[in-house]
Amino acid sequence: MSDIKIEGYEFKPGFKGMAKDTGSDQTMFKGVHWGKAMMWIFLLSDTFIFSCFLISYMKGRGSTLIDWPNPSEVFGLHVFGVDVPLLLIAIMTFVLITSSGTMALAVKYGYEKNKKMCGWLILATAIGGLTFVGMQAFEWGKLIHEGVRPWENPFGAPQFGSFFFMITGFHGTHVSIGVIFLFIYAYKTFAGHYDEGKRGWFTTMKGDYVEIEILGLYWHFVDLVWVFIFAFFYLW
């Protein structure tokens, strides 16, 4: 965390620091960039949204008397004459983890003020995200072509489609928004906005590499949500 030194305030680690933070005057997380604190609050609220989706999916799947479609067959691919279960989903998972790794490195190089490495890694992350969204679009197209609708599908319980489109669609939207911001931030990094402290478009806030970390938090969260979707929707 890029703690800014505040005059007359010394932060203590551990529970002492926690007590100091929660009992502190005016602002709780002293020295933390407000954008970062707000990103965490947003991610917390987003966690609740995705939890509600996954819990409603659990309730829907648990309460139906009709057999749930077997995800390992529904999402399987037929390549080179063999049926490979969940192949596309596995590749998507690896692509998203790769992009998460490049993002983590981008944050690291950002704090070291290594403009070039940071920019290229953000660009790599954006391309990974774009690949992911592309594969998701392919998957949606394939399932729609096979007759999966929010109200019916040829494989089993009719609720399957509505949960599938809702959950993966909402996640895909998050990835798409992330990709847009990754491209914008890659441009801003290369243009040196964070070195010069150039002000942003929507805010009078001075540019700083902490923004890369805030964007990184969002991107890792998208990866985090995918871990849960992969486990509960595709593997279960």
Partner 1 sequence: MEKTKKQEQTTTHKIGIYLWIWGLLFVLSFFSYMVDWYQFQGMLRWSLILFFMFLKAGLIMAFFMHLYWERYALVNVLLWPMTAIACFIFLMVAEFEYTVFTRLFYFVAGG
- Taking the least distance from each CB to partner 1, the nearer of 111 and 183 is 111
- 208 CB-contact burial (10 Å; exposed 0-12 / middle 13-18 / buried 19+): middle
Calpha distance 173→180 (Å, rounded): 11
Shortest Cβ 164–partner 1 spacing (Å): 17
- Taking the least distance from each CB to partner 1, the nearer of 120 and 234 is 234
CB 189 within 8 A of CB 118: yes
Shortest Cβ 201–partner 1 spacing (Å): 26
Shortest Cβ 120–partner 1 spacing (Å): 15
- Taking the least distance from each CB to partner 1, the nearer of 104 and 130 is 104
- Taking the least distance from each CB to partner 1, the nearer of 65 and 151 is 65
- Taking the least distance from each CB to partner 1, the nearer of 58 and 144 is 58
Catalog residues that contact partner 1 under the rule CB under 8 A: 1-5, 11, 13-15, 17-18, 21-22, 28-29, 32, 37, 40, 44, 47-48, 51-52, 55-56, 58-59, 62-63, 65, 72, 85-86, 90, 93-94, 97, 100-101, 103-105, 108, 111-112, 213, 216-217, 220-221, 223-224, 227-228, 230-231, 234-236
CB 207 within 8 A of CB 197: yes
The sign of the torsion formed by the CA atoms of 9, 21, 212, 183 equals negative
Buried/exposed code over 194-206 (b: 16+ C-beta within 10 A; e: otherwise): beeeeeeeeeeee
The sign of the torsion formed by the CA atoms of 81, 85, 88, 93 equals negative
Shortest Cβ 186–partner 1 spacing (Å): 19
Shortest Cβ 228–partner 1 spacing (Å): 7
The torsion of the CA quartet 68, 71, 72, 76, rounded to 10 degrees, works out to 130
